[in-house]
Amino acid sequence: MKESNKQTIKSIASKTFGGLTKEYYLRNFIFGFVIFGIYFLVMKNKPLSFWVFFIPTLFLYPYSRFVYESVANFIVGKNSFFIEMRFFFIMKLITIFICFIFAIVIAPIGLLYLYFHHTKREKKAILEEE
């Protein structure tokens, strides 16, 4: 493989998969790992489809959560809501499970956004240097 192709692949990977902060990714990875553990313990027989679905889902979950939180922040803005804590906790759990289950579908949206966001930022930095 040519060196320029390697650099391009490395650049794309760092702009997408490296686009979240380590703290954010680790925090959400831990939540995803807990969900993975629950499914692992609940399912008696783990067919190959379990591993094919859940392993990628585990690693894509933080990007799925990023998409959800970005959309929610866009809709809510800087507004504050005062709701009962139990209701908030239940809704949080529901959104965590939804983001986990649909991570394979939702995460590519976040990865695309991160790629374009970091590419735009990189171009802006280059223009400011000149």
Q: Which helix (H) or strand (E) holds 114?
A: helix 103-129
Q: Which of 28-42, 45-59, 79-93, 116-130 is predicted least confidently?
A: 116-130
This prediction's pTM? 0.82
Per-residue pLDDT band for 117 (boundaries 50, 70, 90) equals confident
Burial bucket for residue 111 (CB in 10 Å: 0-12, 13-18, 19+): buried
For residues 35 and 94, what is the distance between their CA atoms, to the nearest angstrom?
12
Q: What does the domain layout of the chain look like in residue ranges?
A: 19-129
The letter for the amino acid at 72 is A
**Mean pLDDT of all residues in 82-98:** 93
87, pLDDT greater than 90: yes
pLDDT given for residue 2 in this prediction: 67
